Structure 1
C-alpha cells in the first residue's frame, strides 16, 4: 500500500513564497550590513594613511642628518640625500606619492636600515606573533573565566579580590612591571636567584627540541608581563555583560525547569553575554600584529615593537609610517571580522 503525499493547501502555497521572500530579504539585509562594514573599514584605512603621513612629520629631528650617523657632511651632500629620498619635494607632492605607493603595497625604504619596509616587517612579524599571540590567547581565556566567576558570585570575596587584583595590574605601566619582573626573576634579589634570561628571544647555538625549550624560557617573563597587565580588560567587560544578563526572564525560566545553576550559567547566560567580549577579543587579536612596543623594548624582543622604537629614535619616517599602517590595519581587519561573525551569535545583528 503506497503512501500518498499530503495535499498542498492554498495556505501552504502562499506560505512558501512568503518564506522564500523573507529569506531573500534577510540575505539582502546581511549583504547590505557587510557592505556597510567594508565601506567603513575602507574609510578608516584612508584616514590611517592621512594620519600616518602628517602625524609623524611633527616629530623633532632631521632624518637626513641622522642617516649620516654624526659624520661631518657638507650642505651639498645633505641636499643630495634629501633629493634621493624625496624630502625636498613640496609636502603635498610627498603625500600624494606616499598614498599612491601605499595603495600598491610599497611602504618605501627604511632610512637607517636601507631596506624595504615590507622586508623588515616580514623579518620581525614571526617573533611578535609568537610573543603577543601567546599572551593574547592566555589573557583572553583568563579574563573570560575570571570575569564569569566574578559576575556569577558578584559581591562576594572572590569577586572583590579578582576585580581588585585585575585593576591593580591594569593600572601598572607595562614597562615598569616588566622591569620589576626582570629584577626579581632575572637578576635575582637576595637569596632569590635569577631564573630567566633578561632579554632576547634565544641564547643561540640550540637546535631541535632544545631550541624550542630555550625560546619558551625567554618568553616566560614578557608573556607574564602582558598577561598580568591586560587580562583585566576581558575580565571587566565579561563581568559587566554577564551582570546585565543575570536578571533576565529566560534565566528565571531555565531555573524553574530544574536546570542546575552551572548549566544555567554555561548554556544560557554566558553565550548571551559574549557579544561585547567578542569585540574585545578580536581587537586583542588585531593587537597581535602590533605587539607591545614597551614590553618588547624592555625585554629586547626582536619583534615589531622593538623595531618601532628604533624607528622613532631616528626618526625613520618610512619605517614609522609603514609600521603604523600595519598596526592600524590589523586592528581594522579584526574589528571587521568581529562585526561579520556577530550574526552567528545573535541573528538579530545584520537584519
Structure 2
C-alpha cells in the first residue's frame, strides 16, 4: 500500500468514525426534543403501578449529561422496552434484520446483474432499437414509486402470496426454503424493477462517456477487436460509478424498504419502522434510526474504499 493510498484510507475511516459519533449524539438528543410526555406515552394502555411511574419519572429527570454519558457508553443497551410490543427494542430489531437482508439483498443482486448487462448492451450500441426501447422502459420504471409497483403486481399476479414470509404449517428445510422463495417473488420483483432501472441508466450513461475517450481509439488503432475493446477497456472503467452506486444501495439493505415491506406485510425492519411510526414508539424508533444510520455509513465507507481499489488514481487526489 502506497503512502497516498494509506492516507486516503485513514481519511475515509476517520470521516466515517466522526459521522458515526455525530449520528449517536444526534440520535440521543433528537427523540428527547420531541413534544409530549414520554412517560405518558410509554404507560399508555398499561396497568402500571404508581411506584413504577415514579421510578420512570426519576430516571427521566436525571441530569441530561448523566443520561448522555450512560447512553454514549452503550447505545445498544437492551434494557429499554418498546412501547408497542413491550419487549426490548434491540431484541425486536434483531428478529427483523434477516428478513430484510434476504429481501432487499436478493433484489439488489438480481437488479445489479441485469442492470449492468442491459446498460452495457444499450450503451455500446447507443441510438439503436434496443437502446431506445431500453432507455424508454427504464426511465418509465424509475419514475414509478415502489409501493405503487407492489400494488400493481398484487393485482396483476394474484396467484402469488400477497403477504408474509411463509405459510403457516409448512415444515422441513426444503419445503420452508421453497415456500419462502414463493413468498419473495412479488416483493423482490417490486424492488428489483426500481433498482434495475437505476443501474441500467447509470451503466449506460457511464459507458457512453467512456466511448468518447481517446484511449479507446488507441486500442482500436493497435488492432484490437471491438469485443476486446469493450470487455478489457471500456466496461471496466464504466463500471466504477455503477459499482459505487450498488455499494451505496447496500447501505439501505439494513434499512429495508418501508413501503414494499408494508404493502406485502414482510416481517422486516421496514415494516417494523412503519409500526413504530404509527405508535409512535419512540424507543423503537430511536433504535431503528441508529441501525439505519450505521448501515449507510459503513457501506458508504466500503464504497469509497472499493473505488480506490478499482481506480487507484482516486487515492492520490
Structures share fold, TM-score greater than 0.5: yes
- Give the Cα–Cα distance (whole angstroms) in 2 for the partners of residues 227 and 132 of structure 1: 9
1:232 aligns to what SS in structure 2?
A: helix
Tell me what 2:57 maps to. Answer: 83
Instruction: Give the conservation status (yes or no) of the 8 Å contact 1:125–1:304.
Output: yes
Moved more, 115-124 or 225-234: 115-124
1:344 Cα shift?
2.5
Tell me what 1:99 maps to. Answer: 72
Tell me what 1:7 maps to. Answer: none
Tell me what 1:257 maps to. Answer: 222
Deviation readout 1:282-311 (Å, 9 max, x if unpaired) = 112222111101111110111111111111
- Give the Cα–Cα distance (whole angstroms) in 1 for the partners of residues 126 and 33 of structure 2: 48
1:264 Cα shift?
1.3
Tell me what 1:46 maps to. Answer: 21
Instruction: Give the conservation status (yes or no) of the 8 Å contact 1:61–1:314.
Output: no
- Give the Cα–Cα distance (whole angstroms) in 2 for the partners of residues 141 and 81 of structure 1: 55
1:50 Cα shift?
3.1
Q: 2:239 aligns with which of 256, 274, 280?
A: 274
Q: 2:169 aligns with which of 196, 199, 205?
A: 205
Q: 2:10 aligns with which of 29, 35, 39?
A: 35
Tell me if 1:336 matches 2:301. Answer: yes
Instruction: Give the conservation status (yes or no) of the 8 Å contact 1:222–1:295.
Output: yes
- Give the Cα–Cα distance (whole angstroms) in 2 for the partners of residues 121 and 306 of structure 1: 11
1:89 Cα shift?
4.3
> What TM-score, normalized by structure 2, do the two folds share?
0.89
1:348 aligns to what SS in structure 2?
A: helix
> Quick check: which has more Rg, 1 or 2?
1
Root-mean-square deviation (CA), in Å? 2.4
1:349 aligns to what SS in structure 2?
A: helix
Tell me what 1:22 maps to. Answer: none
Instruction: Give the conservation status (yes or no) of the 8 Å contact 1:297–1:306.
Output: yes
Q: 1:196 aligns with which of 154, 160, 171?
A: 160
The change in CA–CA distance for 1:262 and 1:50 in structure 2 (over 3 A counts) is same
Tell me if 1:181 matches 2:153. Answer: yes
- Give the Cα–Cα distance (whole angstroms) in 2 for the partners of residues 34 and 152 of structure 1: 34
- Give the Cα–Cα distance (whole angstroms) in 1 for the partners of residues 135 and 257 of structure 2: 24
- Give the Cα–Cα distance (whole angstroms) in 2 for the partners of residues 159 and 200 of structure 1: 38
Which ranges of structure 1 fall in alignment gaps of 5 or more residues?
1-25, 187-194
1:184 Cα shift?
2.0
Name the count of aligned residue pairs.
314
Moved more, 56-65 or 124-133: 56-65
1:55 Cα shift?
3.9
The change in CA–CA distance for 1:77 and 1:61 in structure 2 (over 3 A counts) is farther
1:88 Cα shift?
3.8
Tell me what 1:10 maps to. Answer: none
Tell me if 1:151 matches 2:123. Answer: yes
Counterparts of 1:1-80 in structure 2, within 5 Å, are: 27-57=2-32, 62-70=37-45, 79-80=53-54
Q: 2:190 aligns with which of 216, 225, 246?
A: 225
The change in CA–CA distance for 1:246 and 1:325 in structure 2 (over 3 A counts) is same
- Give the Cα–Cα distance (whole angstroms) in 2 for the partners of residues 173 and 29 of structure 1: 42
The change in CA–CA distance for 1:89 and 1:111 in structure 2 (over 3 A counts) is farther
Which ranges of structure 2 fall in alignment gaps of 5 or more residues?
none
Q: 2:277 aligns with which of 301, 312, 317?
A: 312
